[in-house]
Amino acid sequence: MDSSSSSNDKFMDIPPWSNNKLVKAIVTEDWPAVRNILENEPHLIETRNENGETPLMYAVSNAPDDVLENMIETATVENFEQKTHFGGSTILHELVFYARVSAMRRVLEKTNRNINTQDIWGRTPLHVSLRGHWGLTHSYEQHKDMAIRLITFGASATVKDGDRKTPLDLYDDNECEEYEETTRSEKKKELRDLLEELSIPSEILARGPDAVKAFKDALENGEITVVNSRLMFLGNEGSGKTSCVKAMLGKEFNENEPSTNGIVTTTVFQTVGKDYNKWEEQKNVDSKSYSNICL
């Protein structure tokens, strides 16, 4: 079936998906044909069906390693960042589901922009890599390689899915049937501790055990409404800092705005009621009493 023909669409919509010889070769597992098509008609890898699925997504489950990695080398970054319309998954979700570790690494080396993208269930690729899957289990080494690689490239271990569970929560729930039975508990604790440590910012670790404990408690229970904050504008002389602040406050632009001498502090309140999205400058306000936004 033909895909969308938007003029801004970076994916090709011809030939129609139903006539796509690359897809047909993947479905029939004709890997020599896939290799030949990638060499002679590489544009076909940039096609997709109306659900947003690409030939690369079709190949993840059963393509030989060399074919899959050849497809990844041929594909564009836009291909990797494509999300399916139905489930909201990306190629990274698919790769970790099938534990295609080497291919996952090659994708991350090209782009990690969607590394924390959540599907319709709120799961990031890290969630998918660590949770249990009916009829499909991963070994300890697969879990370790995928999770460490994802975190190294920026995956967050604190994102919560639709059930309010983090990737580590899902790992706790995972029975890990592929692990050696006699060392399963030990391996799970070892990997969980490692992933937890890797997910803690170095600035927190440097401050010692108390800071780490406070950080973990904040992740678990900490939730507050931010009622004030400070924004600082830095830049070279004449770059437009003052004009930017004035624009945010709805003030008229002055083409001949004089250069600011020194540091200027502006206190503003966020308007309440119907105009809550507007900011208003306040003068002669006790700095301890304002409660929304400071510029």
pLDDT digits (tens, 9 = 90+) for 57-73: 999 999 999 999 999 99
User: Do the domain assignments include residue 90?
Assistant: yes
pTM: 0.68
pLDDT digits (tens, 9 = 90+) for 217-234: 776 676 655 566 777 778
Average pLDDT, the chain: 83
Identity of the residue numbered 6: S
From residue 262, give the alpha-carbon distance in Å to each of 237, 256, 259, 265.
11, 18, 9, 10
Regarding whether 232 and 146 lie in a shared domain, the answer is no
User: Do the domain assignments include residue 97?
Assistant: yes
CA atoms within 13 A on the CB side of 142: 21
Q: Which domain holds residue 264?
A: 226-295
Regarding whether 96 and 152 lie in a shared domain, the answer is yes
Residue that terminates a domain, selected from 221, 250, 283: 221
Question: How many domains does one find in the chain?
Answer: 2
Helix segments in the chain, DSSP class H: 21-27, 31-40, 55-59, 65-74, 77-80, 91-97, 101-110, 125-130, 140-152, 167-173, 184-198, 202-205, 209-221, 241-248
Closest CA to 49 of 10, 85, 21: 85
Regarding whether 118 and 33 lie in a shared domain, the answer is yes
pLDDT for position 223:
60
Residue 77 near residue 84 (C-beta atoms within 8 A): no
Mean pLDDT value across residues 38-56: 93
**Cβ-based burial of 108 (10 A; exposed 0-12, middle 13-18, buried ≥19):** buried
pLDDT for position 19:
82
